[in-house]
Amino acid sequence: MLASAMGRAWIELNMDNLRHNYGVLRKLLPDTCQIMPAVKANAYGHGAVPIARELNAIGVRAFCTASVQEGAELRSSGIVGEILILGYTHPEDFCLLRKYRLTQTVLDAEYAGALEGFGEKIHVHIAIDTGMHRLGERSENIENILKIFQCKNLIIDGMYTHLCASDIMEEPYIDYTRKQIRAFYKVAERIKAEGYRCPKLHIQSSYGVLNYRNLNCDYARTGIALYGLLSTREDTENCAADLLPVLSLKARVSAVKELKAGEAAGYGLQFVAPHDMKIALLSIGYADGVPRSLSCGGGNVLIAGRKAPIIGRICMDQMTVDVTGIPEVRQNDIAVIIGSSGDEKISAGEIAEQADTITNEVLSRMGVRVNRICVSENQLKSQAV
Ligand SMILES: *Cc1c(COP(=O)(O)O)cnc(C)c1O
């Protein structure tokens, strides 16, 4: 069953590593602070439903997504607990918030008015802008924030802000982050002083948990670190916390062929064989999440524990690698795009570096047609490639 589920290209989710990362992050935080995993963008490409299901099974009872549709998908799949929508929901979709028991972010005072106007009770968290200048009512506009607390139809369960420089542990970024944190707590104090019950507070995402761990919060919204990575290869390799990657990306060798010296391969004749060689076609392409910028020598894949350089242009559904140095390769063999094979390893951080982006983007662009397969250690050993 496992074999047929793999098909042409697939993602393996190492759920042991997910549980491990959860434990590591949990230990960094005060006992009173719960982890609210960010499972937006299909759980950073991993697959929102299998990831949230696994986290539900180990007791996680709060999640955040970007859109109401993502929240509804989780709820329809039986995910329990609070599901917070971090982003914009169109007023026509407010009914979905109630139907799927979702919690909406109050984007600012004006949006609070729209939510209030819906006429039915809606659970919300209020976003406070403390300096990122993305979503949230400005922390200085305390009168506007107090107005949100007066809305009769809003059940205010939480209030949060987002740090925009918590990944850079240098001045002036540390100072800026501390100012954001102070501005947020000042709002919370004022709310209490005005006689309102203080809702649950949250500030940190992954870097916030790692670099500013001793805040007095009820939740930490962790995404990338829970998946065992940080945004760059360098940060991931230098991270003091013992995080393990959850995702591996694999595909089948769909064909192996000989290329004579001087013959070209792929679109635009971009690769011309410098000598007689052997090439392998892989049944995975940029629509599956392999960045096209890795074309023409921009990266490698692993086959039978050895590196096979990418040659020619990566296509939508296929790509070509040089397997001259791996004579035993056969059709139907497995190629590892992200993950390990023998003693070799290619990390998402390495791919991100080669593609001139961050791991978050590489992961969140994993294609929808790639099967997600949950594996645990025992299974991994029995199907070692
Ligand atoms: C995506 C997101 C997070 C999670 O960020 P990571 O850096 O992946 O931990 C937290 N909060 C907000 C508001 C987000 O948009």
* Preceding omega of 172 cis (within 30 degrees of 0): yes
| 280 sits in which H/E element | strand 277-282
Same domain, 211 and 301: no
Residue 258 alpha carbon to ligand 1 centre in Å: 47
Same domain, 85 and 219: yes
Same domain, 68 and 163: yes
Atom 3 (ligand 1) nearest CA: 205
Residues with CB under 6 A from ligand 1: 38, 40, 86, 162, 205-206, 221-225
Q: For 102-146, how does the pLDDT look when each residue is reduced to its tens digit (9 = 90+)? A: 999 999 999 999 999 999 999 999 999 999 999 999 999 999 999
At residue 159, the pLDDT reads: 98
- Residue 99 resides in a domain: yes
- Ligand 1 site-directed mutation target among 46, 65, 159, 205, most atoms within 8 Å of CB: 205
CA 288 – CA 285 distance, rounded (Å): 5
Last residue of a domain, one of 234, 269, 292: 234
Atom of ligand 1 nearest to the CA of 86: 13
Told to judge if 257 belongs to the known catalytic residues of this protein, a careful annotator would answer no
- What residues make up the domain containing 263? 247-346
For residue 256, CA distances in Å to 13, 125, 253, 322 come to 28, 55, 7, 10
381: pLDDT strictly greater than 60: no
- Ligand 1 site-directed mutation target among 24, 28, 163, 221, most atoms within 8 Å of CB: 221
Same domain, 119 and 141: yes
Same domain, 150 and 296: no
Q: Is the dihedral of CA 284, 288, 290, 293 positive or negative?
A: positive
Told to judge if 160 belongs to the known catalytic residues of this protein, a careful annotator would answer no
1: pLDDT strictly greater than 50: no
Same domain, 78 and 198: yes
Last residue of a domain, one of 234, 261, 283: 234
The domain spanning residue 148 has which CATH number? Answer: 3.20.20.10
At residue 384, the pLDDT reads: 44
Same domain, 21 and 142: yes
At residue 376, the pLDDT reads: 82
Q: What are phi and psi of 73, to 5 degrees?
A: -60, -45
Higher pLDDT, residue 380 or 136: 136
Same domain, 43 and 93: yes
- Residue 289 resides in a domain: yes
The catalytically annotated residue of 152, 192, 267, 381 is 267
Q: For 66-106, how does the pLDDT look when each residue is reduced to its tens digit (9 = 90+)? A: 999 999 999 999 999 999 999 999 999 999 999 999 999 99
Atom 15 (ligand 1) nearest CA: 86
Residue 245, Ramachandran bin (φ over 0: left; ψ between -120 and 50: alpha; else beta) = beta
At residue 239, the pLDDT reads: 95
Higher pLDDT, residue 188 or 379: 188
Mean pLDDT of the chain: 96
The domain spanning residue 340 has which CATH number? Answer: 2.40.37.10
Residue 242 alpha carbon to ligand 1 centre in Å: 20
In the chain, how many domains are there? 2
**Using 50, 70 and 90 to split pLDDT, how confident is the model at 167?**
very high
**Using 50, 70 and 90 to split pLDDT, how confident is the model at 6?**
confident
Same domain, 221 and 80: yes
Residue 306 alpha carbon to ligand 1 centre in Å: 35
CA 236 – CA 242 distance, rounded (Å): 10
Residue 65 alpha carbon to ligand 1 centre in Å: 9
Atom of ligand 1 nearest to the CA of 205: 9
- Residue 366 resides in a domain: no
- Residue 304 resides in a domain: yes
Same domain, 160 and 251: no
pTM: 0.95
- Residue 259 resides in a domain: yes
Same domain, 104 and 39: yes
Q: For 232-283, how does the pLDDT look when each residue is reduced to its tens digit (9 = 90+)? A: 999 999 999 999 999 999 999 999 999 999 999 999 999 999 999 999 999 9
- Residue 10 resides in a domain: no
Same domain, 229 and 251: no
Last residue of a domain, one of 234, 262, 295: 234
Atom of ligand 1 nearest to the CA of 226: 9
Atom 13 (ligand 1) nearest CA: 162
Atom of ligand 1 nearest to the CA of 40: 1
Residue 220 alpha carbon to ligand 1 centre in Å: 9
At residue 385, the pLDDT reads: 42
Q: What percent of the chain has pLDDT over 70?
A: 97
Residue 64 alpha carbon to ligand 1 centre in Å: 9
- The predicted model gives 171-196 an average pLDDT of 98
Residue 97 alpha carbon to ligand 1 centre in Å: 21
The catalytically annotated residue of 22, 40, 278, 286 is 40
Atom of ligand 1 nearest to the CA of 206: 9
CA 114 remoteness from chain centre: 30
- Residue 363 resides in a domain: no
Atom 6 (ligand 1) nearest CA: 223
C-alpha dihedral over 89, 90, 92, 94, to 10 degrees? Answer: 20
- Residue 365 resides in a domain: no
